[in-house]
Chain A
């Protein structure tokens, strides 16, 4: 067992993937000598060389577009987009090229590309550094979208994403980068990449979250327990495809569901979860599915971000509203 925070866990996962497959490359802005602005790729260029850990020019479309070419040549590029809000210059290459190449080529061409994006707010950053753009990519057929919430998942999921023959958007909860946990690096992953997981069992209501909001929801469940309410918390982990089996199974027992994410509400992941759970659990639901999310505004200035972001109290307020039905 090794104690890792999420940064170190992803770093170790990348290192293991690079050790295991010489075709795995890392590319992005400042990923080499600096080791990335969050140090996720720290030391990798020193050990694997400049040809495998590539400091790219400062242009996101170029990062993704050249990764497409490298993948067509047989490489497995892992691209870093430095911050969530900087993915959009690369959006066309991701949506029109990466996502569609296998489809357009009738399965002849594969693009095993991973695009890592530190995402989410709560770190007091300037604009474009706190966004949650995962919904755009969940909405794009041909992409797979996952997000880790703790060091164990961070370590294994990055390796599973690199092994995927489909392109994977890998969202990293930057405000949780320094959360620590014990990771058994000699073992093997206990879950496939595209599986949701119950992280706390409960009986009164189900709370589904992902990425940075998992910890918030676990804290809310602890607080709720003090008031005699038993919340079941599910980490969705995979957003495309969604694995709603554990959610549906849970809602059939609790009859109540609150979905929590930082991203804005309209057409977000919560909307899709709500629609599908309603389709599957219409007669078991005791209350409408509630969404506790960021508001439908641009991400605000950091001095008011605490009012934008769901926190423990807002999660409990959502739980109160579903229990009041």
Chain B
């Protein structure tokens, strides 16, 4: 067997890690950067406070949904705990007309896109399969088949090109598309095909990989022998690794990649190096496959604490601000609890709705058959 001795380790807590873009240390110290500082030079104290608020609210949406699952109100939830900065940083880099293709864990991006978080719950409660309108939010439905959405994003970006909405220099016209996926998805054929399509067509798409180190129970080294961001090189476009727990760095690198896309300079792969602090989903038990010490290592890199430390150190906000955000988070949680319980169960005949734009007669006949069957019980009841 021949092994390329130049291959770097894939990453993970124990491996020696390649350079990553970091603008805010885990201790909340701002790291000056000759290149990336210019990309966030508009981020003053109000904007920092805004990002902090987004991070806290994203986490609160998530913790409330986990609680709702524990209470039996949701069948399942996929927690974003630990990935708030990757999602908020990239989500806040988007312009309104940019288009997002998420996995099923992008609750923080949904928040940034103005999707009512209560609408995210329907899928997990089992009352719908995507309760928001992707046309008005430019936030596509959650995609559960791993990696499939990266091709949709790339195709959408091909449509953007054909609409002449790339490289015109008009910020209200030029459009980028972003595809979210995880470390596990990089093994999927669809993701690799999306890289190829995006590369040869030079499409305005950003591939945003949240490398949270775990694909359910499988660590990164089961997916790759090279750092994921370096895959891009082989496909012919730039790739970079960013501290996924650093909201400023995620904002900066995503802004740059989106602008490259809008300018017609093609795709970028961003590997946001982060960690899934929770279980894969509420049905998963990570104690079966990973060590608590790893969790402790990453807890020190918490994406929210470092922003709070930065704000406090720089006196960018007073205690009243933090109290207000906490109060707002409580209100949001209450909204989620109420809205979740009020989500109506669909009626049985609704299973026939929207199978087709133009439903064929045999399908309508099956619906009538169901109606007659259900009515037969009602008639029986009436006879008693």
Chain A: residues with CB nearer than 8 A to chain B? 25, 51, 56-57, 59, 61-62, 64-75, 89, 92-93, 96-97, 100-110, 141-142, 144, 164-166, 194, 240-242
B3 close to A (CB within 8 Å)? no
Are B357 and A73 touching (Cβ within 8 A)? no
CB-based contact B140/A72 at 8 Å:
yes
**Chain B positions 87-144 with a Cβ under 8 Å from a chain A Cβ:** 101, 128-131, 133-135, 140-141, 143
The proximity string for B residues 193-220 relative to A, scoring 1 for CB distances below 8 Å and 0 otherwise, is: 1101100100000000000000000000
Which residue of B134, B357, B362 is within 8 Å of A242 (Cβ)? B362
B74 on interface, CB distance cutoff 8 Å: no
Q: How distant is the Cα of A28 from the Cα of B153 in the complex, in angstroms?
A: 18
Q: Among the listed B101, B143, B151, B360, which residue makes an inter-chain contact with A62, where contact means beta carbons less than 8 Å apart?
A: B151
Report which of A65, A71, A144 forms a contact with B190, defined as CB distance below 8 A.
Answer: A65
B236 at the interface (CB under 8 A from A): no
Output the least CB separation between B357 and chain A (Å): 4
| Most B Cβ at <10 Å: residue of A57, A72, A92, A102 | A72
Of A61, A102, A104, A141, which contacts B151 at CB under 8 A?
Answer: A61
Q: Does B363 belong to the interface (CB within 8 Å)?
A: yes
Residue of B155, B190, B357 touching A165 (CB-CB under 8 A): B357
The listed residue (B134, B151, B362) touching A68 by CB distance below 8 A is B151
Which segment of B15-23, B33-41, B156-164, B266-274 sits at the interface? B156-164
Nearest residue in A to B162 (C-beta to C-beta)? A51
13 contacts between A and B (CB under 8 A): A61-B189, A65-B154, A66-B152, A68-B151, A69-B155, A73-B163, A97-B148, A101-B141, A105-B141, A105-B354, A108-B135, A109-B135, A166-B356
Contact between B360 and A65 (Cβ–Cβ < 8 Å)?
A: no
Measured between beta carbons, the chain B residues less than 8 angstroms from A74 are 159
Interface size on B (CB < 8 Å)? 44
Beyond A61-B193, A75-B162, 5 additional contacts (C-beta under 8 Å) are A57-B193, A72-B134, A92-B190, A105-B134, A142-B355
With the chains together, A93 CA to B159 CA distance in Å?
Answer: 18
Within 8 Å CB of B1, what residues of A?
none
**Closest CB of chain A to B236's CB: distance in Å?**
12
Contact flag A70-B158 (CB < 8 Å), given A93-B148, A141-B355:
yes
Residues of A near B152 (CB, < 8 A) are: 65-66, 68-69, 72, 97
B291 adjacent to chain A (CB < 8 Å): no
Q: Report whether over half of chain B's contact residues are helix, strand or loop; otherwise say mixed.
A: helix
The answer, yes or no, to whether B145 is at the interface (CB within 8 Å) is yes
Cα separation A164 to B360 with both chains bound (whole Å): 12
By the criterion CB–CB under 8 Å, are B130 and A92 in contact? no
Considering only CB atoms, which chain A residue lies closest to B175 in the complex?
A73
Question: Does B358 have its Cβ within 8 Å of any Cβ on chain A?
Answer: yes
> In the complex, what distance in Å separates the CA atom of A240 from the CA atom of B158?
30
Q: A66-B155, A73-B163, A74-B159 are in contact. Are A105 and B130 (CB under 8 A)?
A: yes
Is B129 in contact with A62, judged by CB distance below 8 angstroms? no
Known A-B contacts A70-B156, A92-B145, A241-B361; A57 and B151 likewise in contact (beta carbons under 8 Å) = no
User: Is A102 a contact partner of B355 (Cβ separation < 8 A)?
Assistant: yes
Among A89, A92, A96, A142, point to the contact of B356 (Cβ < 8 A): A142
Once the chains bind, are A107 and B145 in contact (CB under 8 Å)?
Answer: no
Identify the B interface with A (CB < 8 A): 101, 128-131, 133-135, 140-141, 143, 145, 148, 150-163, 189-190, 193-194, 196-197, 200, 353-358, 360-363
- Given the interface pairs A66-B151, A93-B148, the reply to whether A57 lies near B357 with Cβ below 8 Å is no
A87 to B168, CA, bound (A): 38
Contact A109–B156 (Cβ < 8 Å): no
Inter-subunit contact A103/B163 (CB<8 Å) = no
| A65-B140 contact in complex given A73-B163, A102-B354, A165-B357, C-beta closer than 8 Å | no
Smallest CB-CB A-B distances: 5 pairs: A69-B155, A65-B151, A73-B159, A66-B155, A241-B360
Measured between alpha carbons, how far is A144 from B143 in the docked complex, in Å?
Answer: 23
Q: Is the CB of B148 within 8 A of A96?
A: yes
Which one of A56, A64, A65 lies within 8 Å of B194 (CB-CB)?
A: A65
Chain B residues with CB under 8 A of A75: 159, 162
- Nearest Cβ on chain B to A275's Cβ, whole angstroms: 12
Q: Is the CB of B357 within 8 A of A166?
A: yes
Does A62 contact B193, Cβ atoms closer than 8 Å?
A: yes
Given the complex of chains A and B, what is the CA–CA distance between A107 and B359 in angstroms?
Answer: 12
Query: Do B193 and A59 touch (CB < 8 A)?
Result: yes
A164/B193 in contact, CB under 8 A: no
Provide the bound-state CA to CA distance between A129 and B152, in Å.
Answer: 28
Given contacts A61-B189, A74-B159, A194-B360, contact A108 B355 (CB under 8 A): no
Q: How far is the CB of A168 from chain B (nearest CB, A)?
A: 11
In angstroms, Cα B153 to Cα A72, docked, is: 10
**A65 and chain B: residue at smallest CB distance:** B151
Q: Which residues of B contact A73 (CB under 8 A)?
A: 155-156, 158-160, 163
Of all chain B residues, the one with the shortest Cβ separation from A244 is B362
> Closest approach, in angstroms, between the C-beta of A53 and any C-beta of chain B?
12
Find chain A residues with CB under 8 A from B128 CB: 106
**CB-defined contacts of B161 to chain A, threshold 8 Å:** 51
Q: Are A104 and B155 in contact (CB under 8 A)?
A: no
Residue of A nearest to B360 (CB): A241
Taken together as a complex, chains A and B put the C-alpha atoms of A109 and B163 apart, in Å, by: 19
Which of A62, A141, A144 is in CB contact (< 8 Å) with B197? A62
Find out whether the CB atom of A108 lies under 8 angstroms from the CB atom of B133. Answer: yes
Quick check: A69 and B193 within 8 Å, CB to CB?
A: no
Q: What is the CB-to-nearest-CB distance from A106 to chain B, in angstroms, rounded to a whole number?
A: 6
Tell me which residues across on chain B come within 8 A of A108, comparing CB atoms: 133-135
Q: Which residues of B contact A107 (CB under 8 A)?
A: 353-354, 357
CA distance A74 to B355 in the complex (A): 20
Q: Nearest CB to that of A75 among chain B residues? A: B159
Please determine whether A166 and B358 come into contact, CB atoms closer than 8 angstroms. yes
Q: Could you tell me the distance between the alpha carbons of A68 and B156 in the complex, rounded to whole angstroms?
A: 8
B156, A69: Cβ atoms under 8 Å? yes
Chain B nearest CB, measured from A195 CB (Å): 11
Q: Across the interface, do A65 and B159 meet the contact criterion of CB distance under 8 Å? A: no
Nearest Cβ on chain A to B143's Cβ, whole angstroms: 8
Complex CA–CA separation, A211 to B36 (angstroms): 61
Per the bound structure, the CA–CA distance linking A263 and B352 in Å amounts to 29
- Contact A104–B141 (Cβ < 8 Å): yes
Residue of B nearest to A52 (CB): B162
Shortest Cβ distance from A74 into B: residue: B159
Q: Which of A96, A104, A242 contacts B130 (CB 8 A)?
A: A104
